[in-house]
Amino acid sequence: MFIQTEATPNPATLKFLPGKVVMEKGTADFRNAGEAEASPLASRLFAVPGVTGVYFGYDFITVTKESGEWQHLKPAILGSIMEHFMSGQPVMGGGTSTAEAFDEEGEFYDEGDETIVATIKELLETRVRPAVAQDGGDITFKGFKDGTVYLNMKGACSGCPSSTATLKHGVHNLLRHFVPEVQSVEAL
């Protein structure tokens, strides 16, 4: 099994491409070992000292470190990913992770703004998320209130130094261009 690695704009996060589908549907974001119990793969990765975040996309895994050098952590992370896929275990356990449950609920907006929200979601889905996924992250819609769009930054985007620029310049300008009602964009 050959696993590729790619740097991300976030120096504390690396993207791993196992050459297999990781999450057939949706994504999963784990910020601690307790949340990772919902996933055998995330649990293995959190067992590596220094790992503080794990994110699963369709065909990639991003791992965030708190300390240590990538040259020391990468072999253990690669070994954990390889062991997992060779074991035949599922990526996610039987239950829904708290990360997935949070993704599916908690959106907020006024009923009168449904058309605006639908346009925002379509723009995020077709133009923003594919670009951000290339960097090992994800941006999801959380709400729209009083002209402000609230987004959730995940994976490599979470805590990335350039995520503010991506959000304020790229996403904000795109949404304002197509949806004049958008006045600002904020990360939750």
Class of domain 106-185: alpha beta
pTM of the model: 0.72
Whether residue 171 contacts residue 128, with contact meaning beta carbons closer than 8 Å, is answered with yes
Rg over CA atoms, the chain: 17
Class of domain 2-85: alpha beta
Per-residue pLDDT of the chain (188 residues; tens, 9 = 90+): 789 999 888 888 999 999 999 998 888 989 898 889 999 999 999 999 999 999 998 899 999 998 778 998 999 999 999 999 989 889 998 654 444 444 445 788 888 999 999 999 999 888 888 888 877 778 888 899 999 898 888 876 776 667 777 777 788 888 988 999 989 888 87
From CA 13, how far away is CA 174, in angstroms rounded?
A: 26
From CA 188, how far away is CA 186, in angstroms rounded?
A: 7
What residue spans in the chain does CATH classification 3.30.300.130 cover?
106-185
Sequence-distant (6+) residues with CB within 8 A of 120 are: 141, 144, 149, 175, 179, 182
pLDDT at 41: 94
137: number of CA atoms within 13 Å, CB side?
27
What residue spans in the chain does CATH classification 3.30.1370.70 cover?
2-85
Q: Name the β-bridge partners of 54.
A: 30, 63
Opening angle at CA 17, ends 13 and 19, nearest 5:
170
pLDDT at 95: 53
